[in-house]
Structure 1
């Protein structure tokens, strides 16, 4: 069953001014008036509805870092908060083999309503919180937490976790280095996805503001229960804590195209 729908956004406050945590695909909840979008209930247990384990990792990571965390309160099947309003995949009609009847005939007006009621309030909450931090002369790091399937189209994915980034290497590249340091885990650098997605959440709130940011992906089979989610939250907190305490990282920086940048120096 989907989780009960409560609100388009959930904010769990924290004391730290160094970092803001985001979870774009936190839940499989859909308001009752959408009638499960015409899907069988078992489809809401799949990755097409939410990022399995991501919310649990984010909550524990927020506790460990003392950070504020902002969660979407609606399923990505309704509308995807990690897409720009003009993205053709904003409202999916077909997702990993599943036809979504409630989206099949949606037009511009229906999409606009979903943006107004769900997508926009989520992003407005993030922007408000960053404005508050900026007013206190802070340039916080932004960390988005996602998860990915262990197999895609019959191909196993070897990565345990990954860090995605676009133009700003300040946080992402040292984080990749730290997670790879003991050699126990295969950590993807813009794998299995590329972080250069214009108008996604981190582009909108990180790149455009010049704030340090990174998107963390953890493989879903590793965080599908509380033990795994807690273990990965601890692992990520250990890697992130010294990075986000560095004063030099908390500056507004504007970056050109990633293609124009020198390759990051691996320590």
Structure 2
């Protein structure tokens, strides 16, 4: 049996913690997908969750990676994807956030995240969080002499599990930004022309320093045009649906 790494979490034969898709992409867009995977390292024993729970939205952004890959092909853009579940450590949360390694997600207790020591939290940071963001830094550093726009692809659940509350979300898609509105405004205006779509502006989420990391760290600090795109997950259940959304976003970016 392959040995675990020195920190006792990852086996040598497990997938990489970060994937770069189309690394020689020529587009001015760079894409990121923070919640691309629901994979849990073997050494973390599914974090105490069932396989069904790991298929749900608490573990990843369903359909986001498929849309991001297809959009990267349409644009000829470089795409960076996280290799493991947001429940291991959330690559789009500041390390000081209570949601960085959350013990409860949408009402589900994540037993493998309960009562972690600072050393255990640091292990996950060093193995999963830092490598992902270091790859993004390296890609952006290499493009410092050319125009770059950073686009983050996410998906969101149609409703949240809050007993007695109406948490249905009407938006088919939403976009948000922090201080640099040009790209998000362009997307909003283009998608809003489709009368069949309910398009959110800073919905279902606004970018916030307390709960968001990727675009603040990599776009705002570099003063790059950027946008976070959120697509409702019930529209990303099939191959044709993810293809449709990739084409829709590609057309909106023109």
Whether the TM-score (by the shorter chain) exceeds 0.5 is yes
Residues 102-113 of structure 1 aligned to structure 2 (within 5 Å): 102-113=112-123
Q: 1:139 offset after TM fit, Å?
A: 2.8
Do the aligned residues in 2 keep the contact of 1:26 with 1:71 (CA within 8 Å)?
yes
- The 5-angstrom pairing of residues 34-113 of structure 1 reads 34-113=44-123
Q: Deviations over 1:93-146 (max 9, x none)?
A: 000111111110112111111000000000000000001111xx1130000000
Partner of 1:142: 150
Q: CA deviation at 1:204?
A: 0.4
Q: 1:231 aligns with which of 244, 249, 252?
A: 244
**1:17 CA drift (Å):** 3.9
- Give the Cα separation in 2 of the matches to 1:69 and 1:105: 34
Quote how far apart the aligned CAs of 1:227 are.
0.8
Q: C-alpha distance in 1, partners of 2:251/2:14?
A: 33
Using the TM superposition, give the Cα deviation of residue 39 of structure 1 relative to its aligned residue in structure 2, in angstroms. 1.1
Q: Find the partner of 2:203 among 178, 185, 191.
A: 191
Q: Name the structure 2 match of 1:209.
A: 222
Distance 2:183 2:74 in 1: 18
Residues 71-107 of structure 1: CA distance to partner in whole angstroms, max 9, x if unpaired? 0001001000001122121000000111111110112
TM-score (norm 1): 0.86
User: Structure 1 residue 5: deviation in Å?
Assistant: 4.7
Secondary structure of 1:216's match?
Answer: strand
Equivalent in the alignment of 1:250: none
CA distance in 2 between counterparts of 1:17 and 1:192 reads 28
Gaps of 5+ in 1: 243-267
Deviation at 1:162, TM superposition (A): 0.3
In structure 1, the partner of 2:167 is 155
TM normalised by structure 2 equals 0.90
CA–CA distance in structure 2, aligned partners of residues 174 and 237 of structure 1:
12
What's 1:28 paired with? Answer: 38
2:27 and 2:75 in contact (8 A); partners too: no
CA RMSD of aligned residues (A): 1.3
Aligned length: 236
1:197 offset after TM fit, Å?
Answer: 3.1
Distance 1:185 1:16 in 2: 30
Q: What secondary structure sits across from 2:143 in the alignment? A: helix
Q: Quick check: which one's helix share is greater?
A: 1
Distance 1:28 1:220 in 2: 15
Deviating above 3 A after TM superposition, structure 1's stretches of 4 or more consecutive aligned residues are: none
Q: What secondary structure sits across from 1:156 in the alignment?
A: coil
Contact 2:150 2:219 in 1 (8 A): yes
Whole-Å Cα distance in 2 between the matches of residues 15 and 188 of structure 1? 29
Is 1:200 paired with 2:209?
no
